[in-house]
Copies of this chain bind each other. A is one copy, B any other.
């Protein structure tokens, strides 16, 4: 019998999904990670309604994924732009996982429209699973979910 004694409140997958699992948040993060940092740029590039973008930026900032930092162009008023915080940058692996899977299974005949590279050396980047015993798990890993420290009985 599988371990199912976790609920949708505490499961980390569910929680993360609740935070960034809507239609726009991850795309906002993708763009910010990619250097698109200002409100109008984001609105234009994503094609998202402005009120929605506004709400997302607020939520992601409140959740600590984005930092709202002031900047000043010469002669212009001070404004803000958005940057990934530390935790936000840690979501990169998630974005790469999405990208990789989509590249393999949903790309058009020409191949994917974008590739991701290591900024330091320029080589393409891959996401891999590896266990603490040093095994590489490959693309179709054999996994087991087990009770963790915060496990609690289900009603």
Q: Encode contact with B along A117-135: 1 for CB under 8 Å, 0 otherwise.
A: 1111111111111111101
Are A97 and B94 also in contact (CB < 8 A) when A114-B6, A115-B148, A133-B123 are?
Answer: yes
Interface core residue of A15, A126, A152 (most chain B CB under 10 Å): A15
Within 8 A of B (CB), among A91-110: 91-110
Within 8 A of B (CB), among A58-73: 64
- Kindly list chain B residues whose C-beta atoms are within 8 Å of the C-beta of A130: 125-128
A146 within 8 A of B: yes
Total residues of chain A contacting the partner, CB 8 A? 94
A36 to B149, CA, bound (A): 22
A111 within 8 A of B: yes
Q: How far is the CB of A7 from chain B (nearest CB, A)?
A: 8
Q: How far is the CB of A98 from chain B (nearest CB, A)?
A: 5
CB distance A13 to B111 under 8 Å?
A: no
Are A93 and B150 also in contact (CB < 8 A) when A14-B27, A114-B11 are?
Answer: no
State the A residues within 8 Å of B (CB).
1-4, 6-8, 10-17, 19, 21-23, 26-27, 30-31, 33-36, 45-47, 64, 86-87, 89-133, 135, 137, 139-152
Nearest 4 CB-CB pairings of A with B: A12-B102, A2-B35, A111-B149, A110-B150
